[in-house]
Chains A and B, each alone.
Chain A
């Protein structure tokens, strides 16, 4: 048993009277992808945002979150990020009015040489489209930019929130491939609804329900238990199909 990279203990978040997370505890392994699952609105995004310190000012966060030996809560977001916590938010959040190159330049840090070669090797498109406005990129390209921006610096852990949301199936595959390569060197805590992508990437799974952790364990085992998956994730028929035919959206075999 290796030391987890991230320890979340008894995390509670309350936002304007709503008790969204009620004592969530889980760990993230130091390698590979840990996926955070659950029905819509169960608090997956809230969990990631609480970890990276982006709970809105009206919100109240309790519990402990540690990355290695370091306690994360109550530290400002920019410090956490500089300390090696990379965050790729839901809906990409690229700066639409800035060019691709400017979006990347923003992530540069004083005294640290940015890993442009690594990023451009993963996303050659970002190099070619440097002068284009990020707002005019396609959804997939924006997602690449959002991930590339974070990879310019070294990270100890990546938080990635629904990277395939709203993307065309072909692009979903591309994003999944990239994340797979990224996860070879950095542990990832991933929020993902597309079970085919989960099947392809995830080693461990944490399932949230009603503001609490309902299940943790091996992701691949979870996906095999159709009944369990259905009751925990409320997967509709459409997504069950993803389950039944994993090759559809994400060609390639299971990694485990």
Chain B
């Protein structure tokens, strides 16, 4: 089998992506910038979107929800660097995010460091942690790799829950001591600044992931995802490339943790749970693994639904349903898990694969209705 794969005649070059029609094609590259601009000025809007957000768009509650969504958009994009772009199924990505959250919280609250020092130390520490654990975990491949990363993350969860040395606050979590923080990041009225911070984080992650996947390294990573043996045949060391991706994704996740800690004002043990890593996987698969915007969309949408479904579950519309329906619907994870399963079956490419399919469907409908 191996022989036939290696020596086989070269594959046919896949057909180039057919260019989109003219004007759209020219506008398209600027869409992300437009989206960024819209997101940046969003806090100046006072529009109310009843049903979608509880208050006006610029109310602190809505901005905080949006900020959390943006953070998870970035987190999912970073996780996709592993799963969608390199094909590594890590079940322990929450660990580096949690390291970011708890690192910041502990350094600020317990050690009294200024925020910038705490953030710098945390991100450096999180990156080193990812490099060290990645160096061990990547000695295994496939399912064993998934297991090792899951187990490492479990150690993180145990350390936090058992509250060794009284640092983490155990099950209670650790509220952030805001007295030493810059005034612009504290208080309900300044939620908008945190929102912008989250937006900046998301932009950074998307930029980094985009640059990496466009670089020669990114092409090697894509090669690893498709067929690791071929990369080995080229004389490249898969281990080193995977470690680079793992470390980078870990560093990005801990940076996200720093921002998240500021937004929610502390740390709680649920962010160390394996459930969070599983949610990241759900976000990426829902959005579209290996695509530029899929994971971001997936992350934003997942967190939005996670928050809003709780409200939806207690709404009158749902409560009036019989208990058999209303009870499961009041559980965000039930809805999201079910959505996820359906996604795996019916749109394996995620949300981003739906758009071309819809276009295709529309086009085929149009040709069918054309009189001959």
Contacts and interface: CB of A to CB of B under 8 A. Distances in A.
Interface of A: 14-20, 22, 39-46, 49, 90, 210-211
A221 B10 CA distance: 32
Most chain-B Cβ atoms within 10 A of its Cβ — which of A16, A20, A41, A45? A41
Given A16-B226, A16-B227, A40 B8 contact: no
Nearest to A22: B9
B4 A45 contact: yes
A20 B3 contact: no
A212 to B, nearest CB: 9
A17 to B, nearest CB: 4
Nearest to A49: B1
A46 B4 contact: yes
Nearest to B2: A41
Contacts of A20: 4-5, 8-9
Contact of A210 (B1, B6, B9, B226): B9
Given A40-B3, A41-B3, A45-B1, A19 B8 contact: yes
B7 A40 contact: yes
Nearest to B6: A41
25 contacts: A16-B227, A17-B11, A18-B9, A18-B11, A20-B5, A20-B8, A20-B9, A22-B9, A40-B3, A41-B3, A41-B4, A41-B6, A41-B7, A41-B8, A42-B7, A43-B4, A43-B8, A44-B4, A45-B1, A45-B4, A46-B4, A90-B1, A210-B9, A211-B8, A211-B9
A45 B2 CA distance: 10
A18 B10 CA distance: 6
Nearest to B3: A41
Interface of B: 1, 3-12, 14, 226-227
Nearest to A14: B11
A16 B227 CA distance: 8
B5 A18 contact: yes
Contacts of A16: 5, 226-227
A19 B226 contact: no
Contacts of B4: 20, 41-46
Contacts of A43: 4, 8
A19 B11 contact: yes
A45 B8 CA distance: 12
Contacts of A15: 5
Contacts of B1: 45-46, 49, 90
A181 B229 CA distance: 41
A18 B8 CA distance: 7
Contacts of A40: 3, 7
Contacts of B14: 17
A15 B230 CA distance: 13
Contacts of A22: 9
Nearest to A46: B4
Most chain-B Cβ atoms within 10 A of its Cβ — which of A15, A49, A210? A15
A14 B8 CA distance: 10
A210 B1 CA distance: 16
A129 B12 CA distance: 50
A16 B3 CA distance: 14
A196 to B, nearest CB: 21
A19 B5 CA distance: 9
Nearest to A15: B5
Contacts of A18: 5, 8-11
Contacts of A42: 4, 7
A20 B4 CA distance: 7
A18 B12 CA distance: 7
Contacts of B8: 18-20, 41, 43, 211
Contacts of B5: 15-16, 18, 20, 41
Nearest to A39: B7
Most chain-A Cβ atoms within 10 A of its Cβ — which of B3, B4, B9? B4
B283 to A, nearest CB: 25
Report, nearest first, the 9 A-B pairs whose CB atoms are least far apart.
A41-B7, A41-B3, A17-B11, A20-B8, A18-B8, A18-B11, A41-B4, A46-B4, A43-B4
Nearest to A41: B7
Nearest to B12: A19
A20 B11 CA distance: 8
Nearest to A40: B3
B210 to A, nearest CB: 24
A22 to B, nearest CB: 8
A14 B4 CA distance: 11
A69 to B, nearest CB: 30
B9 A19 contact: yes
Contacts of A211: 8-9
A213 B4 CA distance: 15
A230 B296 CA distance: 57
Given A39-B7, A42-B4, 4 more contacts: A20-B8, A42-B7, A43-B4, A211-B8
A43 B227 CA distance: 19
A175 B332 CA distance: 64
A66 to B, nearest CB: 23
Contacts of B12: 19
A17 B9 contact: no
A17 B230 CA distance: 12
